[in-house]
Each structure stands twice: as C-alpha cells, then as structure tokens.
Amino acid sequence: MTDTRRRRLLNKTMAYFRNYRWAARLIGFLGLVLIISFMFGQGFAMLREAHASFELLLLLTLLSLSLVGYIVGWLIEIAGGVLLTLAGLIIGIFTFFSPVFGTNYYAMLLSLPLLIPGIFYLLSWYNKIRRRELDD
C-alpha cells in the first residue's frame, strides 16, 4: 500500500471514529433526556403499578447501569458501548415480557435510546482499533 493511500485511509478512519463517538454521545444524551422525561410524564403512574416489586427494582437498576455506561462511554468507548448495549437489550426483553410493563411500546421506548448509542460507541472503538492497526 502506498504511503499516500495509507494516509488517506487513516484520515478517513479517524473521521469515522470522531463521527461515531460524537453521535453516540449526543444520541445517548438525548435518549437519557427522553427516558427521564418519560419517567416524569407518565412513567411514575406505571411505576406505581409495580408496587416496589422485583420488576421495578430490576428496571431502575438497569436504567442506573445505562447511566453509568453512558458516563463511562465518554472516556472508554468499549466499556460504555458494552454496558449500554447490554442494558438496552435486557431492558427491551424484560419490559416486553413483563406482566407490569409488557407492551411493545414500552420496550422500544426504553431500549432504543440505549441500544443506538451503545452500537455507536462500539463502532467508534472498532474504528479506533483499526486506526491503530493502520498506523503500524
């Protein structure tokens, strides 16, 4: 591979890294704002139906885990991506099959704002690793 082509590929990979990282940060922030506004808007009535049960405890734990994943993702993309993606998958599956929250609407509303930034963080990490390989 010629040096010019390698440099162009390296610059392109770096641009993708920045784009994915900032997309994950912005979408993650907007997703957390959406979830928090949902909780204040109509979620507390839904949470009152759970009556401090296992479903409520698990859902709040997973939402806290996603908040930690979002904060960690600003510094370490792979850790934030894995935490957000796993939390989004578990929340989506849990809310879909839960007798308290069991609708497709709640599953998508609570899982997609976590899955999308998680995937973007993972893509950002992949491009960073690829850039290091091209550097060598």
Distance of CA 85 to the CA centre of its chain: 5
Where do the domains of the chain lie?
3-135
Residue in 112, 135, 134 with CA at minimum distance from that of residue 34:
112
Q: What is the DSSP string of 50-115?
A: H-S-HHHHHHHHHHHHHHHHHHHHTT-HHHHHHHHHHHHHHHHHHHHH-TTT--HHHHHHHHHHHH
Given a cut of 70, whether residue 51 has pLDDT beyond it is no
Amino acid type, 29: F
Residue 14 has pLDDT above 80, yes or no: no
Cα-flanking dihedrals φ and ψ of residue 75, to 5°?
A: -100, -45
State if pTM tops 0.85: no
pLDDT in tens, 60-100: 788 888 888 888 888 888 998 999 999 889 888 888 887 77
Q: How far apart are CA 61 and CA 2, in angstroms?
A: 51
> 3-state class of 6 per DSSP?
helix
- Range from 7-11, 54-58, 96-100, 101-105 carrying the lowest mean pLDDT: 7-11
pLDDT for the residue numbered 74: 85
Q: Could you read off the pLDDT of 30-45 as tens digits, one per residue?
A: 877 877 777 777 666 6
